[in-house]
Structure 1
Amino acid sequence: MERYQHFCKNTGSTLCGKIHTVVSGDSCWSIGQANSVTVTQIQSLNPTLGQNCDLTVGKILLIQPACSVESTPCGKTYTVISGDSCWSIGQANSITVAQLQSLNPSLGQNCDLTVGQILLMQPACSVESMPCGKTYTVISGDSCWSIGQANSITVAQLQSLNPTLGENCDLTVGQILLIQSACNGYSTGWS
C-alpha cells in the first residue's frame, strides 16, 4: 500500500485530497515536512489527533482537503470546551447560531453541546469546490457498513475516502461523505 495517496484531481494541475497512512516512526512533524504542510494544518484536517498530535500506526490522515485549493478554506472545525455556548462559539467564529445549527444538525433546536464535540464552522466543501466525486449525507441510523452496502463500497474504502472518520468509523448526522472519487481520468483504483 502506498503511504501517500491522492484521491481527487483538481481542475488545474494540482492534486487534492492527499492522505497518509501512519507507519512506525512517523511524527506529525515528519509527515508535515514530507508534504510541505505544518503540524497545525495536519491537526486542523484531522481533529481527532488532539493537541499532542497523537498518532497510531495504520491511522489514515488527511494531508490536503478534498476541495479545490482555489476555493475559500473549507471544513473549519471547532472543539467544544467547558463553558461554551452556541452563541459564544458563533461569535468567536463570525457565524450565527442558526448557521452553526445548520452546519451541525446533530445540535438540534436547543443547540445541545458536549465537551469534546467537534463542530463544523464552515461547510466541508461546496459542490462548486469539489470538482468530482459522489457524496452522501449521513442520516440517523446510518452505519459505515450500511452506507458502504448501499453504495457498493467496503467500509475500508469509505474510510480511505473520508480519513476523518477514524478507525472506529465515527459518523455524525448531517456529515457529508465522499463515496466515489473519479475525476479528470484519475480514480481511487476501484469502480
Structure 2
Amino acid sequence: MDKIFIYLGLINILSFVLYIPYKSLSPVILKSILTLILYLIGICAGSLGLILAILIFDRNTAKDGLSLKVFAFASFVIELFLFLLFRKDMGSLSFDFVRFFEDRPYLLVYVLSINLISFLAFGFDKYKANRDKRRLKNGLLLGLSFIGGAIGGLIGMKVFRHKIKKAYYKMGLPLMILMQVLILVLFMNV
C-alpha cells in the first residue's frame, strides 16, 4: 500500500511541475508534445496534480487548454470513485439500476431533468449560433453535463450537430458519462 501512495505522490508532483511550462508556452509543437504527456500522466493517476496546478496557475476561463482542464477534473473524479470502488468486495457489487431508481424516484427525476435541461441547452445554443446571437457559455454547457447531464449533452451534440468538433466536448462528455456511472455504482453499493 505504501508503494501505491509513493507512486501517486510522485505522478501528481510530476503533473503539477509539468503544467507550469505547459502554461507558459505558446501554441507550438513543444506545447503539443507537453499536452500529450500531461494527458498520459493524467491517465496514470496524475490528475490531482493537474487540478492543483490549474487552480493555482490558470484560473481564467479561456478556451485555451479547456480540453485538458475538462479531462483533469473528470479524470480525478473517475480515479477517486474507482479507488473507493476497489476498496469494496468486487464480488458483492450490485448493478441493479432499476431497483436502485425504484427505491429513489427523486433521484430518477433529477437525472432525467438534468439530462433534458442539458439537451435543451445544447439545442438553444445551436439556435443562437445560427442567428449570430449571444451564446451560452461553455462553462454552463460543461457544468450541466458535469452535474449529471452528460448523456443529454452528448445526445444534444449529435442531434443538433453542435460542438461536435470541440475536443473538450468530444472527449469530456464521454468521460463525464463514465464518471457519473461510477458514482452511481458506488452509491448503489454504499
Superposition TM-score, scaled by structure 2 size: 0.26
TM-score, normalised to structure 1, is 0.26
Query: Max radius of gyration: which structure?
Result: 2
